[in-house]
Structure 1
């Protein structure tokens, strides 16, 4: 059972400004950089078809990480910058999906993402906020 959120994810149309803020003002180090596929962003974030996006994660694991997803030029104006979700890391995404469904919520089925980083995620909207369960495979 998680005792803290693993990370928050934000979408930005100015990743350079966010990078400077998080590293120079807040003092967070870059933890990880990778690319997420367009198909995964369409499935999880509801983006229109796209070629994927650059992702940078700031901070030190295991908790309190900030994930910054750069909105591609082609989607600016269609995808708005915002805080997207709060994520909890777990070894058993499926059990959290079942618990959420038992409460009458409608989480997504666990979905693997394979690429620069292999993960399985499930997303659920509760109270106007998007929440994610993630396992690092």
Structure 2
């Protein structure tokens, strides 16, 4: 039997999430993508709605041949599409503004974190952020 108090807690959490999605949408999306968007190709989202739709279609047309990673990515892509359709957008990663692991709100856009790049883990992203905080990059060697 599922306790009523536990069910009530779930309902209250759902109401809170819905409130933020309706009343503070850019904050909701920034938090969602920071916490939940692990299997995600930021280069698709930056290109906008048409690119996102095409990627969703490509994955769904694979059917059972789609990898588990691709199937998980559909949910994130659908939320990206929803965000773009509501008038928000993704910007490119910014060497001087991106955070290591959090999406940054910039007006009606989100600036992705360094760890949203394929192959860049949280540790490497933190190293990039620390190097950036030490001063401006003058060459590629400074970044490496």
TM-score norm. by structure 2 comes to 0.29
Q: Which has the higher helix share?
A: 2
Q: More strand by proportion, 1 or 2?
A: 1
> Which has the greater radius of gyration?
2
